[in-house]
Homo-oligomer: A and B are copies of this chain.
Amino acid sequence: MASDLPLDAYDKKILRLLQAQGRITNQQLAEQIGLSSAACWRRVKALEESGTIKRFTALVDPNRVGQPLTTLVMVTLVRHHIDNTAEFERRILEYPEVLQCYATTGNADFVLRVVIEDMAAYDRFLNEKLFSLAGISQVSSNFALREIKNETAIPIR
């Protein structure tokens, strides 16, 4: 249905606006990009169906829902089992307090961002979840003193 790629100028404007205001009405969106509302609506649907728009979401302030502690965790695995990596990743996906996880170059194998209530809860996370995984070699916890920026909008060029 939705052809893959390439995005034209209208699509790019749509993506910029929907990243800034996810609940803008289709009519306002259409007006701002300079298309009829039907044409705009079809483009938004196509962008959703092609996966360019993964989904819509509400961004919640973690401080206001009792999860003020952010930690960046560097994890290194032991090199013995080839299954370690797959198993590690599978378990990480199940932990809701781990919002992000990347396999990276450099000293650590993985970098995680963990959002949680307080130090006691983080201690439980380490002992009951992270340290219980097979094949963990090193874990380094870097606590966020301050959030300078936390943006979800990808620059559309």
Chain A interface (Cβ < 8 Å from any Cβ of B): 5, 7, 15, 18-23, 50-62, 64-67, 70, 72, 89, 92-93, 96-106, 108, 110-111, 115, 117, 140-157
A81 CB, nearest partner CB in chain B, Å: 18
**Contact sample, A vs B, 30 pairs, CB 8 Å cutoff:** A18-B58, A19-B57, A21-B55, A21-B57, A22-B57, A23-B23, A50-B64, A52-B64, A53-B61, A54-B59, A56-B57, A60-B154, A60-B156, A65-B156, A67-B154, A67-B157, A72-B104, A92-B148, A93-B148, A96-B153, A99-B154, A100-B149, A100-B150, A101-B149, A103-B145, A103-B146, A104-B144, A105-B143, A111-B142, A115-B155
CB distance A61 to B51 under 8 Å? yes
CB distance B104 to A142 under 8 Å? yes
Taking CB atoms, residues of chain B closer than 8 Å to A66 are 157
